Structure 1
């Protein structure tokens, strides 16, 4: 009787050990397959400047291809809009990283906001003045006596610089008028020349049925008055606690942008799938134009996100000269730094 009880006890112990061993084996198997507990990912929110569109395709591509997850990041891309100011969202902690124009960021920095520029995605300005060939505007001097559309709200300073560089008084020599975010005023001949971004409003004109030969274009880059646009920025307080997280975010983003610029058709499809607010055709055409800003002709793709300090200085000079800034911008390690880009690009 005693031997039977002993045998039963030994059997019970054997079964218990087997169960424990099986459980441990299961956990080891999960770890070796590379699966990751979602709770282990570091959360990061990115505030864009506008609605979901191919202007931001590099981030959507990186998210879709799992580049952020590979870096241990659970990213949330927050859409912008006419009532959303990225600088405010980052400053108050609603978002971790923001996208804005460099001149706009400088304005907030000059106001005492502790914001830091940490990457430059667009290497060229996308701002154009577009007119129908029938208006006869083939050079800036031809703007004299014409109605010229501007969005204002911080978007007018390249136009101001263009006019002064060509000895045109913006108060006397032409009429600057408020332009909406469609191209209807130009199409209906309400204005002679319209502001347009290469990747959006200019594309809308072509989609309306006009051919490139029907349009004349003044490019701010060619005119020597370009100001930098889409950059990445953070609050200094957030960065002080999240340097490693930001470097991982930037590394994944650079990878996404490289893929997007190499295959803008696929990138346009990814953005369209994320938010079908405009047509697939428009997203793809936009993506092709955005790629030219991120990786311009002759630009090394390995330098995506690089901050060109000469271009920053030009933006600062124009912003001060034409009244966006009340005093010269402070350009130092306190307002702009490339060290995180250098770390991300090196790995």
Structure 2
């Protein structure tokens, strides 16, 4: 009897051990699945935390770092390009750097140049396209000392008038002809240097000046607005548009989305710069001290008037006014910069990307 009871007890214990082993065996896959899910979650988290690779991009300026280009420097300073996934490089220009060549040869992706200059290269078969117009007005002036009595174009007759030439003379040619003045006979056009010493020393009667640069140099020399007379190309109806953005056909065909993101960030930068030119001048000065802080701020204030003139909606910065473009092209052809009328269609100019960036 005792042996049978012990045998039953042993059988019960063996059964319990068997059940326990079975339970452990069946729960193992669930544990493995749990671990696998945990690993997946960790991998997913790690993947999400990995920084997104930035798209590298370069913009070639027309001149040295100055507030003429403050929108791009402001956008970079405020991280707008980074927000759009762009690692931007701003390439300064200079007297020996031609933006059209830099972009055409692939040194830069986007360039800044004057519309008249771009039209010239396009007319020579370069596949370059204007994709945004930053300056809505011309900055070109003819400035003279008040004592010369030059208050109208007709007063230029018999005078020495300075020009930088090299593509900067066509608005002057247009101004003269529009007022019946023969540039070969009625006055003397003189090669002007990049200082304002010739007019300060009375070597010429009227000098070319950009509103945002050379005119400011005259004020900094001690002259006041009252000491100077100004002929403004916009007021005289012979303005030619200046700073625009352009690309090659090949690059934009492969980088439409990248350019739209670049333009969206740039517009934000220009909006901020025009709203607070003192801050913009400081940003440009911090980027490269090519001129004094005071002059950078002066330039910034004047540039804002060209990019967002009175009554212009800052939301439309970059807008291409085809009437103004046509006037620039007509003057460029009439006065010899172009040998034939400019082609203004989708092959040379487009608002497509501006519309995408501002919608």
TM-score past 0.5 threshold: yes
Q: 1:111-260, aligned counterparts within 5 Å?
A: 111-260=124-273
Residue of structure 1 equivalent to 2:97:
84
Residue of structure 1 equivalent to 2:45:
28
Over the residues paired in the alignment, what is the CA RMSD in angstroms? 1.8
Q: Between 22-31 and 108-117, report the one with greater CA deviation.
A: 22-31
Query: Quick one: distance in 1 between partners of 2:42 and 2:274?
Result: 44
**Secondary structure in 2 aligned to 1:51?**
coil
Query: Quick one: distance in 2 between partners of 1:162 and 1:291?
Result: 25
Structure 1 runs of 4+ off > 3 angstroms?
20-27, 29-32
Q: What residue ranges of structure 1 are gaps of 5+ in the alignment?
A: 1-13
Q: Cα–Cα, structure 1 residues 27 and 281, in superposed 2: closer, same or farther, change >3 Å?
A: farther
Residue of structure 1 equivalent to 2:7:
none
The Cα offsets for residues 222-244 of structure 1, whole Å up to 9 and x where unpaired, read as 00000000000000000110000
Query: Quick one: distance in 2 between partners of 1:175 and 1:36?
Result: 62
Higher Cα radius of gyration: 2
Query: Quick one: distance in 2 between partners of 1:100 and 1:303?
Result: 19
The Cα offsets for residues 202-249 of structure 1, whole Å up to 9 and x where unpaired, read as 011111111000000000000000000000000000011000000000
From 317, 323, 327, the equivalent of 2:340 is 327
**Secondary structure in 2 aligned to 1:195?**
strand
Residue-pair matches, total: 326
Query: Quick one: distance in 1 between partners of 2:334 and 2:153?
Result: 19
**Secondary structure in 1 aligned to 2:155?**
helix
The Cα offsets for residues 184-217 of structure 1, whole Å up to 9 and x where unpaired, read as 1010001000000000000111111110000000
Q: 1:224-303, aligned counterparts within 5 Å?
A: 224-303=237-316
The Cα offsets for residues 295-335 of structure 1, whole Å up to 9 and x where unpaired, read as 00011111100000000000000000000000000000000
Query: Quick one: distance in 2 between partners of 1:289 and 1:320?
Result: 29
**Secondary structure in 1 aligned to 2:64?**
coil
**Secondary structure in 2 aligned to 1:148?**
strand
Q: 1:13-92, aligned counterparts within 5 Å?
A: 25=42, 28=45, 31=48, 36-37=51-52, 40-92=53-105
Report deviation, 1:22.
9.2
Query: Quick one: distance in 1 between partners of 2:159 and 2:97?
Result: 33
Query: Quick one: distance in 1 between partners of 2:301 and 2:216?
Result: 10
Report deviation, 1:31.
3.9
